[in-house]
Amino acid sequence: SATTRHKVYKQRNLVEMADVVSSIPALNRALHAQFQTGKTRPLAWRKHQLRQAIRMLTENKEKFFDALRKDHRQTELVAESETTGPIQEAEMLLENLDVWCKPSVRSVPLIQKPGSGYVVKDPLGVVLIIAPWNYPFSLLLKPMFGALAAGNCVVIKPSEVAPACSAVIAELVPQYFDNDCVKVVEGAVPEATALIKERWDYIFYTGNTFVGKIIMRAAAEHLTPVTLELGGKSPVIIDESVNMTVAARRIVWAKYTNSGQTCVAPDYVLVVESKYQEFLDHVKKNITDFYGEDPQKSPDYSRIINQRHCERVASLIEGGRVFCGGHVDVADQYVAPTVLTDVDLSSPLMNDEIFGPLLPVIPVKSVDEAISFVNQRPKPLALYIYSENSSNIDRVLSSTSSGGASVNESLMHVICPDLPFGGVGPSGMGSYNGRKTFDTFTHEKSVLHRPTWGDASIRYPPYTESKIRWIKRLNGLKFSQTKLIVSAVMVGGAILAYNYGIPANL
């Protein structure tokens, strides 16, 4: 079983574990030294890493799938997304890298003329990426690819909770990527603790809030910036105008995909009283339509990652009355797709992130009551509103705060490459996806470039009354006025250059 494999993984040779931990400071120093050589900066190097990423994923698809089956008993479609998503990310980075890396021109005030301003996209340096177990490839590889595209050295730590997936990463990454600049560190708490003690130029962590706080404290010792992709309880709000057929189908799909082990899965549903029973009936029907009378036999229904997590999820069922589902088989790491009513709001079910296939459904009198319910709790990673009423939609979106949101949809916003994905407050900080991933691992360095000719004495002491008067005039000009003066000077300069042969670059 996966639990047995996990125990074996944790009970590996203590000497080996100590060797890994003791080697981490030297690994950190070596990567910083390697970054200083400038090896990762050329676009040719970055593009080669991205092409190698695509090769790794396409040439070893069965290895990735087999690892997901061992750790997760993952369904075929979810397993497929674990490789296609990172491939698409790498392809998009390759397609846009030339444009994204170009310096961007910025205006400078009149007092800085003649001169030009621009922003250079600098790599941060050496970054650490710590990945979760629920989507062990995509949530590791997508930020890794963005970090490489930005020109960084990278250390990745896959999750020990998915040991087969971790082993595949440790085997394949050294075969395809630059071993001087990309390193894999396997391990559990001792290795992770040793890693976060070191000085990194950026730490990117996906996981739970408890560990996120530990990482942020460690990063603060070196003033290291972080992205924390955490979680929370993502609510669904349903009003009277809902298209119930579509809403229930989408919510059931989003909730029970990967057995609810998705950070942005609907955590609970707030539904207006007039639609409460109708929603329950539709959800129950869709569960049967999707997974059959016995979901345990369905090839489309995943398992909980291990027995310990299975027992944790099962214990949460006590927080409500089972409307449908409720069956648990710990030995099989199975928790049935379950709907809960009459929910105890003070129970762990409604105070901890569920991260499993349990869906509490709570009736509310109005959309305003639902908004108040959400706002009385920590800011979630995602919020979903199902409605055909534009006024209600606008009110929910403008009156609540969440990392992301979807209207008449759930979960799908995280795979839109032009929509940054991240949390707010307790659900995380920072974001990534597509261009935003590249930006996350890039420093925008502002540059002012001025020639040495035309060095006006007005800026230097002694400051006479005349100088002070002119400085005040220049500082008091509005932005539109400075643009007009600059344009006039440029036109005048061009005329002089044409008529009197003054060099055009002056």
Which residues does the annotation mark as catalytic? Answer: 229, 263
Q: How many CB atoms lie within 10 A of CB 77?
A: 10
For residue 119, the SS3 value is: strand
Residue 417: other Cβ atoms inside 10 A: 17
Number of residues that this document lists for the chain = 506
Long-range contacts of 21-25 (CB under 8 A, 24+ apart): 21/187, 21/190, 21/191, 21/194, 24/185, 24/191, 24/194, 24/195, 24/198, 25/194, 25/198
Q: What letter represents residue 256's amino acid?
A: Y
Q: Rounded to the nearest 10 degrees, what angle do helices 390-399 and 367-375 cross at? A: 20
The rounded Cα 189 to chain-centroid distance in angstroms is 22
Sign of CA dihedral 34, 36, 39, 42: positive
CA distance linking residue 292 with residue 308, whole number of Å: 26
**Backbone angles phi and psi of 385, in degrees to 5:** -120, 125
Place of tokens 């003791």: 22
| Residue 202 to residues 27, 215, 224, 299, 437, Cα–Cα distance (Å) | 16, 11, 6, 40, 13
Task: For 190-228, give one letter per residue: b (16+ CB within 10 A) or e.
Answer: ebbebbbebebbbbbbbbebebbeebbebbeeeebbbbb
Q: CA 300, CA 213: separation in Å to the nearest integer?
A: 35
Q: Is 281 exposed, middle or buried (0-12, 13-18, 19+ CB in 10 A)?
A: middle
Phi, psi angle pair for 354, to nearest 5°: -70, -50
Dist CA 467 CA 457 (whole Å) = 9
Q: Which of 136, 121, 157, 140 is nearest to 53 (CA)?
A: 140
3-state secondary structure of 304: coil
> What is the token pair recorded at 119?
């922003």
